[in-house]
Amino acid sequence: MSDMDLSKFEKKIHLRNIQVEDIDEIIELSKVCFPNMKPWTKAQLKSHIKHFPEGQLCVEYEDKIIGSCSSLIVNFDEYDVKHTWDEITDKGYIKNHNYDGDNLYGIEVMVHPDYRRMKIGRRLYDARKELAQRMNLKSIIIGGRIPNYHKHAEEMSPREYVEEVRAQNIYDPVLTFQLMNGFILKRINNNYLKDDDNSMKYATLMEWPNIDYMPQTKRIYKTSFPVRVFVVQYMMKQINSFHDFAHQCEYYVDISSDYKSDFIVFPEIFTTQLLSFIEEKSPSLAIRRLTRYTEDYIKLFTDLAVKYNVNIIGGSHFVEEDGDIYNIAYLFRRDGTIDKQYKLHITPNEERWWGIQPGDEIKIFDTDCGKISILICYDMEFPELSRIVAERGANIIFSPFCTDDRQGYLRVRYCAQARAVENQVYTVIAGTVGNLTEAENMDIQYAQSAIFTPSDFSFPRDGIVAECTPNIEMVIVGDIDLEVLRRSRSSGSVRQFNNRRTDLYEITVKEAKNTKKNDGFEYDPEI
């Protein structure tokens, strides 16, 4: 009796981690699965594999990828429950992935339409559950699409639709599947995924609890997470060259490194010190000549951040783009990457003397010490901006400033303190002092730089970590604790951040009409 060759009947199906060589195939799969939505980019998928390779899974059938899923680990307590897909995924790059986090967050599941009766999605969900159990994570959290909602949007609200799906009166291919796989509905978020028209941009926040989770002491009783901030109250005085300026800046960065600081903060437009040797009497022309030092400035602080292992808030600098002048604050990370924030509100003085133009984008920056924001001077006086960045996850707001009199300084200070209280964040202000006798409109300055906290028992009684002596050249160093901040938000005497009446009011951000171009110095996600 001869043996039958069974190999010809075999169907080769294999679940494995995604590799770099799979990227093109994954992109094509996303185009097929979601034809009306923006597909993954190569840069995003490379970033997934780089930051969390274990969380990137695919199903291969007959040597063809027919399904995939992507995930990252987060401390979900650090995010607003009313988050967007862009916020939780760092715009799809997952650079915010945290191996020490408690929660696995699923950001995408795809199954080829021709293979949707083979329980491919179930295989991927089970693999995620096994991963969560293996890594001892508390839960899996997802923001689930409701792709059939557009068919019922005129007759019912998202909540009514979800309840009908839960009652099995309506079938939704995603929500029904998730409920069948043990996920619990937590809430409904709007504006979750901006190009998900079928779901009308709504998403269900759902959670699968890992019943095998073994609490770890470090996760339940988190130790303090101090961040050391070094603030420079910078003296504006006569110099003779860019070398003099660089020498003075390196001096401060060197000291901050000796104190093992995580951030050093310089003031707004402190680079106008270069005007002391630029021979141009017209203020507007002098500023345009100042912009010629932009590349020297960026190279200097990039080198200093890497050399001294400290994140630098490089004050701000006037930059020319397409013939216009902008006031831009740069973040120089100690890993060598660079980001920037345009000043959004221009003072009458800046407009009249220098013709400065406003930016049009509010940004949040990921750092090795969590999410931060930079609001330049006048921007701190508009409470909407601080609320927006706090909602997007910023725990520290840095505000470089430059004021010429005490009244102007107090506007910045009082507003910075108010922003710290009302948003339960840390705020840091750094200003210039001294004078530039040869520079028009920069002839005198007034400042008292400081580090502010919310107002509660866990913080200094006056809400001040440290502050400079007014109007002299000096520095301050202070530790701010992000874990104390988290606890204050969740269990403080008052909880301004969590107690917002979003049923009555909310702040929305309009889409920018003219987003500023990349100037070549920003972080490239392909790198």
Q: Is pLDDT above 70 for 6?
A: no
Q: What's residue 487's pLDDT?
A: 81
Mean pLDDT (whole number) for 225-245: 94
Does the domain spanning 12-216 belong to CATH 3.40.630.30?
yes
Q: Other CB atoms closer than 10 Å to residue 210's CB: what's the count?
A: 19
Q: What's residue 219's pLDDT?
A: 42
Q: Which of 129, 138, 343, 371 is catalytic?
A: 343
Q: Within the chain, what is the greatest distance between any pair of CA atoms? A: 105
Q: Other CB atoms closer than 10 Å to residue 506's CB: what's the count?
A: 12
pLDDT band at 99 (very low <50, low <70, confident <90, very high): confident
Q: What's residue 395's pLDDT?
A: 94
pLDDT band at 4 (very low <50, low <70, confident <90, very high): low
**pLDDT tens digits for range 313-365:** 999 999 999 999 999 999 999 989 999 999 999 999 898 889 999 999 999 99
Q: What's residue 509's pLDDT?
A: 84
Distances (CA, A) of 253 to 13, 193, 231, 333, 478: 56, 41, 10, 13, 15
Mean pLDDT (whole number) for 465-492: 90
Q: Is pLDDT above 60 for 525?
A: no
Task: Pick the more confident residue, 494 or 234.
Answer: 234
Mean pLDDT (whole number) for 39-64: 93
Q: Which of 377, 402, 415, 468 is catalytic?
A: 377
Q: Is pLDDT above 50 for 279?
A: yes
- For domain 228-491, which architecture applies? 4-Layer Sandwich (3.60)
Q: What's residue 519's pLDDT?
A: 45
**pLDDT tens digits for range 86-95:** 989 988 999 8
pLDDT band at 383 (very low <50, low <70, confident <90, very high): very high
320 is an active site residue? no
Q: What are phi and psi of 149, to 5 degrees?
A: -65, -35
268 is an active site residue? yes
**pLDDT tens digits for range 457-470:** 989 999 999 999 99
On the CB side of 197, CA atoms within 13 Å amount to 5
- Cβ atoms of 18 and 124 closer than 8 Å: no
pLDDT band at 502 (very low <50, low <70, confident <90, very high): confident
Q: Which of 78, 108, 268, 381 is catalytic?
A: 268
Give the pair of three-digit tokens for residue 408. Answer: 């102007």
Give the pair of three-digit tokens for residue 119. Answer: 């329980």
Q: What's residue 282's pLDDT?
A: 83
- Cβ atoms of 138 and 210 closer than 8 Å: yes
Q: Is pLDDT above 70 for 10?
A: no
**pLDDT tens digits for range 205-219:** 999 999 999 876 444
**pLDDT tens digits for range 302-311:** 999 999 999 9
pLDDT band at 433 (very low <50, low <70, confident <90, very high): very high
Report CA dihedral (344, 345, 351, 353) to the nearest 10 degrees. -90
Poorest-pLDDT segment among 40-49, 180-189, 312-321, 487-496 = 487-496
Q: What's residue 420's pLDDT?
A: 95
DSSP for 353-404? HH-EEP------EEEBTEEEEE--GGGGG-HHHHHHHHHTT-SEEEEEE--S
Q: What is this structure's pTM?
A: 0.61
Q: What's residue 524's pLDDT?
A: 35
pLDDT band at 491 (very low <50, low <70, confident <90, very high): confident
Mean pLDDT (whole number) for 59-78: 91
pLDDT band at 526 (very low <50, low <70, confident <90, very high): very low
Mean pLDDT (whole number) for 269-287: 87
377 is an active site residue? yes
**pLDDT tens digits for range 132-156:** 999 999 999 999 999 999 999 999 9
Query: Residue ranges per domain, the chain?
Result: 12-216, 228-491
Q: Is pLDDT above 60 for 523?
A: no
Q: What's residue 7's pLDDT?
A: 55
Give the pair of three-digit tokens for residue 90. Answer: 């760092």
DSSP for 296-342? HHHHHHHHHHHHTT-EEE---EEEEETTEEEEEEEEE-TTS-EEEEE
Q: Is pLDDT above 70 for 520?
A: no
Q: What's residue 432's pLDDT?
A: 96
Distances (CA, A) of 260 to 229, 254, 364, 369, 489: 9, 10, 24, 13, 28
* Contacting residues for 356 by C-beta, under 8 A, at least 6 apart: 318, 325, 326, 327, 343, 346, 350
pLDDT band at 223 (very low <50, low <70, confident <90, very high): low
Task: Pick the more confident residue, 18 or 496.
Answer: 18
- Cβ atoms of 429 and 414 closer than 8 Å: no
Poorest-pLDDT segment among 94-108, 221-235, 390-404 = 221-235
Q: What's residue 100's pLDDT?
A: 82
Place of tokens 């915010």: 96
Poorest-pLDDT segment among 56-60, 114-118, 317-321, 444-448 = 114-118
